[in-house]
Amino acid sequence: MICLEQVSKTYGKSGKKAVDSMTWNVEDGKITGFIGPNGAGKTTTLKMITGIIRPDEGRITVNGHDIQKEGLEAKRQIGFVSDSPDSFLRLKGIEYLNFMADMYDVPTQGRQERINEYARKFEMEDALGSRIQSYSHGMRQKIMVMGALMHQPPVWILDEPLTGLDPKSAFALKEMMKEHAAQGKSVLFSTHVLEVAEKLCDYVAIVQRGRIVFLGTLEELRAKFPGEESLENMFLELTKDE
């Protein structure tokens, strides 16, 4: 479980809060979709949960570990895929996966089996021997997902994970997310694609100008808008500028 208590973040001296007093629990055993308009604060929130940036105020715990005070333990719980998969470009895919496995003390025994399994699921077997810089965007996305999952983290945090994936790989990742949640673990992912959120999520958190404006199941969201069928219209209503 991920717990945020009164978390805020302001960049620079603008005074405008990118994330504003956010209090929120991401439950185990569920897929939680994090949706909101451009600039609403999704990436900032995910980067604070993963310890990449520090909140100005508030507290974040991941499976009971405070990301500020017990960073290593908290980070061990997390597999994070960022929205920009353009890193480690000079490494070959296989080197990157072994690097990630080394970073997280994944035993060599069983490592190759895991690599083979993910490579098969994402049809990356033939690409692992090539440098990441030669990969397409979707392939880079896939190798980042594989790397993030090498240590079998209980908490998955994925920033726009389906962008650029071909239908087969998107299907494979969605199935993996469902299996992970079904094992009682957490999946939190951000998306702009409301159809994906509708089909995949148990819970949605809708963020607008750094604040959570709705948190609950899709049924609860529908109950708020009786007679409205379209998630898009509900989303637009919740996030419209006053």
Ligand X SMILES: Nc1ncnc2c1ncn2[C@@H]1O[C@H](COP(=O)(O)OP(=O)(O)OP(=O)(O)O)[C@@H](O)[C@H]1O
**Where does this chain bind ligand X (CB under 6 A)?**
11-12, 18, 36, 38-44
In whole angstroms, the minimum distance from the beta carbon of 35 to ligand X comes to 9
Considering the complex, state which of residue 119 and residue 159 has its C-beta at the smaller distance from ligand X: 159
Considering the complex, state which of residue 11 and residue 171 has its C-beta at the smaller distance from ligand X: 11
Q: Which residue has the tokens 């909101």?
A: 36
Are 210 and 37 in contact by the 8 Å Cβ rule? The answer is no
Considering the complex, state which of residue 56 and residue 73 has its C-beta at the smaller distance from ligand X: 56
Closest CA to 100 of 116, 118, 88: 88
Q: How far apart are CA 169 and CA 162, in angstroms?
A: 9
3-class SS at 96?
helix
In whole angstroms, the minimum distance from the beta carbon of 17 to ligand X comes to 9
Residue 84: phi and psi, rounded to 5, are -125, 100
Considering the complex, state which of residue 40 and residue 115 has its C-beta at the smaller distance from ligand X: 40
Considering the complex, state which of residue 44 and residue 98 has its C-beta at the smaller distance from ligand X: 44
Are 128 and 93 in contact by the 8 Å Cβ rule? The answer is yes
In whole angstroms, the minimum distance from the beta carbon of 92 to ligand X comes to 29
Closest CA to 229 of 200, 182, 204, 194: 194
Are 22 and 8 in contact by the 8 Å Cβ rule? The answer is yes
In whole angstroms, the minimum distance from the beta carbon of 67 to ligand X comes to 17
Q: How far apart are CA 15 and CA 18, in angstroms?
A: 9
In whole angstroms, the minimum distance from the beta carbon of 131 to ligand X comes to 27
Phi-psi label, residue 178: left if phi above 0, alpha if psi -120 to 50, beta otherwise: alpha
Considering the complex, state which of residue 54 and residue 168 has its C-beta at the smaller distance from ligand X: 54
In whole angstroms, the minimum distance from the beta carbon of 158 to ligand X comes to 13
Length of the chain: 242
